[in-house]
Structure 1
Amino acid sequence: AEKIKTSLESEIVSLRERISELESNLAARGLEFSSTISEKDAALSSALTEISSLKEKNSAL
């Protein structure tokens, strides 16, 4: 019985470590996702500014 208890406790420790790893990976991916969204937003904003500028130039002609 003691052997089984020790084995189960070891498994619990292992699973807790795996959960910690998964949580860390999830947090890192969340930061990566946020960064990607920010970059895309900046690119979109730049493109919209360029479109507005081109429209103004075209209207002046």
Structure 2
Amino acid sequence: QSRITTEAKRHLYFTEASAKEIAYRLGFSNPAHFSSFFKKCTGKSPSFFRKQNIGF
């Protein structure tokens, strides 16, 4: 779980890949499940995490 969260954060921080693309790269078959998982683990949606940390 923490490895996936760390990888997701890395993708969100260092790439411009969409949450959907990141979800598939990390092995999620449904992007909505990825977003729910990420929010459960971090307390933030993937898009909010990106905006808060990078500004785009």
- Name which one, 1 or 2, has greater alpha-carbon Rg: 1
TM-score by length of 2: 0.26
Q: Which has the higher helix share?
A: 1
Task: For CA contacts below 8 A with separation 6 or more, give which structure has more relative contact order.
Answer: 2
TM-score by length of 1: 0.24
